[in-house]
Structure 1
Amino acid sequence: MLSGSPTQGMFSNSRIGNSESPNSGASSSFTQPIIDMSENDETELLSITWNQDYHCFAAGTNHGFRIYNCKPCRETFRRDLKVGGFKIVEMLFHCNILALVGAVANSHYPPNKVLIWDDYQSRSICEFTFRSEVRGVKLRHDRIAVVLEHKIYVYSFTDLKLLHQIETLANPRGLCCLSHHSNTFVLVCPGLNKGQVRVEHFGLNVTKLISAHDSQIACFTLTLDGLLLATASITGTLIRIFNTMDGTQLQEVRRGADRAEINSIAFSPNVQWLAASSDKGTVHVFSLRVRVSGEDSLTQPNVAQGPALFHQNSSTSLDPLISTNTGANPNSTFSFMRDMGSWDGKSAHGSETFLLRLLPKYFSSEWSFAQFRLPQSTRLIVAFGSENDVIIVGMNGSFYRCSFDIVHGGDMMQKEYVRFIT
């Protein structure tokens, strides 16, 4: 059983009423209960998703779903069905509330229906039915975001009223991110143009449109407070970090030179590192020059201050979000120039700026600080554990925990390996 719910008492009775969305409805009825099964049929993974603090992950399977702790990796809970499985399983931190979306073969839970399930009571709290397939669901303590191919619906978690409708470009990946700090409510989704990201600061009633890439967006992620955004395109070579308050690009890092599909991106809890996984079978960790002022940014009651939540002694609009340590990434292509000091006996002072203007962008990108190469190629999702722990979960049922040297970087060391589904 999952741990106690912060949403206990959120729904006072089973009569929830109708949603205001023209494409959805809400109901307390649910005719086919989730039933524990003892069958030994082969299990196929359909999806993997982290909970909001990366301490757990949920696996949607062709039989139901399973919940795993990450340290160490072990199964803590499962529900299996008589027929069909779940393609989307979204957790709400560590509580007993889950959002479930059925797989195509699941006749009782079709892929156009979102089920909000309270496993403590072993019953459905409500369900939303749409005219088209659900591509994603995101939860925070006060909101439910349902992602369709061309639209996102945002509902209140307390009374299930429809609060927002957002039009997007075709979004088959179900891309959407929510902030999870109580003082900020930020939603990020694709915009209406190729390569564009839309940022909604609902608490401030502010919308920012960021032209993040020239090609379509493949992946993005937010910090928990929603103030920093990392994006990647379908090209998969560059990852860019933005200030969500004003849309400013703060940093650009390079995964590689060849095209790749980036499956996931994750910020470390201290916002000093960024991890990315791709179909190349290598996980990269990048050193970030964007710095927040620690817990001050999370306890500041006035979110309208925006970038002022970061360092206060700034001389430009970029300074509050960029560390003064320009050598933060020792694997940056030009770090050797800072160490050499001279060419042919002449001072190299100022030469780096000159070369950055002349050489192709490829050579000025910041490369990864640490790497972990997997023995097999599979779709991977990545997250951070402690300061220098990286967790990697694969769609082939593999779980890796590895660590990197925060001073020297380089190849990461494997600390744990588990086959959580065989």
Structure 2
Amino acid sequence: MDLTRSTSNPNDAPGFLYAGFNQEYGCFATGLNTGFRVYNCDPLIEQARSESSEGGIALVEMLYRTNYLAFVGGGRNPRFPPNKVIIHDSIKSKAVLELEYKSDVKNVKLRRDRQVFSKRLTVVLVNKVFIYEFGINPKLLYTFETCDNERGLAAVSASQDHAVLIIPGRQKGHLQIVDLDSLGYYWSAVPQRYSESSINSNLNTSTTTIEHDLSSPTTTSSSSTGRATPTANISIIAAHSGKLSCVALNHDGTKCATASDKGTLVRVFNTATGTLLNELRRGMDRAEIYSIAFNHDSTRLCVSSDKGTIHVFNLDPSVVTTTDQKPLPRGPTYGEVVVYPTVPSVKGTGLTQNGNRGSSFSFMKDLLPKYFSSEWSFAHAKIVTENRCIAAFGEEKNTIIAICADGSWYRFLFDPRKGGECTRDSFERFLKNE
């Protein structure tokens, strides 16, 4: 959640620039005008902090629960130039890698691969995405071009067995699905197009700086290695007619979810085939989506926005049926008006096949506007201050964790059978509005 990209709210915690979960949603990190902090999600426990007058950090990316963090400077007094990525070792309390670009860095993603010591680094600029295998001397694996991506949209699968990256395509509303395993691991440590003087090769020094020429070709020259340059396995999905505003991947990279800048629909696709699996309606009014998250087994999805509401959708019929496979009754409706029949019937329960709320007129979807065939959220939670937030499913069953721009932390419980309004189970402030 980049809090610098949109208009601030009077309830925002002062100096709060960024919040983001780690790859498995067990921790979250915050970027502040004075540094950063790292917290355990549930229970809420501060695990690390580094704050000083040196300046602000606008982006903090964790590598699971390891000692590696990626930083990008920001705020009114950036600690690092916004065109640099700093890989920080919290055990050594120093930078171990620096990457410099000719434009501001919009996002950074880290992942750990099958090989024990293999790590991937994804750096997102406004029109380019760089993929590295990183160590003391980082190896550039591939460069991708995208349409204007001011939000820095990108998502990487968390599973160590299946490496998938999703980024915007070259056309508005399109999504690129990249099989990172197809990029290989055999590139030279020093790409031919970089000048030797731009790379610090002293092994006693833990910092490496690379200045990228954005006019360079998109792949490393194969002549320096004597091996063929691989072709990345890329699929393109025309996800929305408008610009993308949020993207997400499930744990193993088999499903992705997207929202456009209109913020009314969330679409879920199969990453292998590009098939549309679910089309879910958040609402009818325009909203800015701040987070989309799958649960661990990809049977549910939660969506948060600047409206201060978190929506939970079912993706799989198996989570909402009894042993005799009959639909369960649902709790009260929420949000926009949805018409339910007064007498339930097999064809008119007001529920979709996946157990989300729907219209009793959905059987007339070919005659009525698309609104009447929409799938609405199965459950919902409300942030009291109607503030911007990010949300994910908690480690405890049937819980949602929300991190809000006012420095508050929520844990909600939802009824997996009835849905409806979630119960606020716990509330704390990790940043105080002072």
Q: TM-score w.r.t. structure 1 length?
A: 0.76
Partner residue of 2:221? none
Contact 1:334 1:364 in 2 (8 A): no
Q: Is structure 2 residue 122 aligned with structure 1 residue 138?
A: no
Partner residue of 1:240? 267
Partner residue of 2:364? 355
- 1:401 is matched with which residue: 394, 399, 411? 411
* Distance in 2 between residues matched to 1:328 and 1:206, nearest whole Å: 42
1:153-186 per-position Cα deviation (integer Å, ceiling 9, x unaligned):
1110244111110101111111101112122111
- 1:249 is matched with which residue: 258, 276, 300? 276
Q: Is structure 2 residue 409 aligned with structure 1 residue 382?
A: no
Partner residue of 1:346? none
Partner residue of 2:25? 54
Q: Residue 175 of structure 1: SS of its match in structure 2? A: coil
Partner residue of 1:188? 166
* Cα shift at 1:81: 2.7
Q: Is structure 2 residue 184 aligned with structure 1 residue 174?
A: no
Q: Residue 115 of structure 1: SS of its match in structure 2? A: strand
Partner residue of 1:348? none
Instruction: Flag as ranges the 4+ runs of structure 1 deviating above 3 A.
Output: 104-108, 325-339, 351-354
Which letter does structure 2 place at the counterpart of 1:275?
C
Q: Is structure 2 residue 235 aligned with structure 1 residue 208?
A: yes
Structure 2 CA distance for partners of 1:146 and 1:328, relative to 1, 3 Å: farther
| RMSD between superposed Cα atoms in Å | 2.5
Q: Is structure 2 residue 100 aligned with structure 1 residue 129?
A: yes
* Distance in 2 between residues matched to 1:326 and 1:241, nearest whole Å: 25
* Distance in 1 between residues matched to 2:373 and 2:274, nearest whole Å: 22
Unaligned regions of 5+ residues in structure 1, if any? Answer: 1-41, 293-324, 344-350
* Cα shift at 1:202: 2.5
Q: Residue 24 of structure 2: SS of its match in structure 1? A: coil
* Cα shift at 1:339: 3.4
* Distance in 2 between residues matched to 1:123 and 1:342, nearest whole Å: 62
Q: TM-score w.r.t. structure 2 length?
A: 0.74
Q: Residue 303 of structure 2: SS of its match in structure 1? A: strand
Contact 1:268 1:387 in 2 (8 A): no
Contact 1:251 1:289 in 2 (8 A): no
Unaligned regions of 5+ residues in structure 2, if any? Answer: 1-12, 113-118, 183-231, 320-324, 349-359
Contact 2:244 2:259 in 1 (8 A): yes
Partner residue of 1:419? 429
* Distance in 2 between residues matched to 1:327 and 1:220, nearest whole Å: 31
* Distance in 2 between residues matched to 1:203 and 1:248, nearest whole Å: 21
Q: How does 1:21-36 map to 2 (within 5 A)?
A: none
Contact 1:250 1:290 in 2 (8 A): no
Q: Is structure 2 residue 100 aligned with structure 1 residue 73?
A: no
Contact 2:172 2:243 in 1 (8 A): yes
Which letter does structure 2 place at the counterpart of 1:405?
D
Q: How does 1:186-335 map to 2 (within 5 A)?
A: 186-204=164-182, 205-289=232-316
Contact 1:287 1:329 in 2 (8 A): no
* Distance in 1 between residues matched to 2:262 and 2:329, nearest whole Å: 23
* Distance in 2 between residues matched to 1:357 and 1:327, nearest whole Å: 24
- 1:44 is matched with which residue: 15, 19, 23? 15
Structure 2 CA distance for partners of 1:420 and 1:214, relative to 1, 3 Å: same
* Distance in 2 between residues matched to 1:336 and 1:76, nearest whole Å: 51
1:2-28 per-position Cα deviation (integer Å, ceiling 9, x unaligned):
xxxxxxxxxxxxxxxxxxxxxxxxxxx
1:362-402 per-position Cα deviation (integer Å, ceiling 9, x unaligned):
11011101111111122110111133100010111011000
Contact 1:67 1:78 in 2 (8 A): yes
* Cα shift at 1:259: 1.1
Contact 1:277 1:381 in 2 (8 A): yes
1:203-249 per-position Cα deviation (integer Å, ceiling 9, x unaligned):
24421110111111000100111110011111111101000011110
Structure 2 CA distance for partners of 1:360 and 1:147, relative to 1, 3 Å: same
* Cα shift at 1:48: 0.1
Q: Which has the higher contact order (CA 8 A, sep 6+)?
A: 2
1:263-294 per-position Cα deviation (integer Å, ceiling 9, x unaligned):
111101121111001111111101113889xx
Partner residue of 2:215? none
Which letter does structure 2 place at the counterpart of 1:391?
I
Partner residue of 2:193? none
Q: How does 1:101-140 map to 2 (within 5 A)?
A: 101-106=72-77, 108-140=79-111
Q: Residue 263 of structure 2: SS of its match in structure 1? A: coil
* Distance in 2 between residues matched to 1:249 and 1:328, nearest whole Å: 26
1:326-354 per-position Cα deviation (integer Å, ceiling 9, x unaligned):
959958968859932489xxxxxxx9775
Q: Is structure 2 residue 59 aligned with structure 1 residue 88?
A: yes
Contact 2:311 2:380 in 1 (8 A): yes
* Distance in 1 between residues matched to 2:419 and 2:377, nearest whole Å: 9
Structure 2 CA distance for partners of 1:342 and 1:269, relative to 1, 3 Å: closer
Q: Residue 203 of structure 1: SS of its match in structure 2? A: helix
Q: Residue 357 of structure 1: SS of its match in structure 2? A: coil
Partner residue of 1:339? 344
Contact 2:57 2:78 in 1 (8 A): no
Partner residue of 2:125? 148
Q: Residue 358 of structure 1: SS of its match in structure 2? A: coil
Structure 2 CA distance for partners of 1:291 and 1:195, relative to 1, 3 Å: farther
Q: Residue 270 of structure 1: SS of its match in structure 2? A: coil
Q: Residue 421 of structure 1: SS of its match in structure 2? A: coil
* Distance in 2 between residues matched to 1:62 and 1:201, nearest whole Å: 36
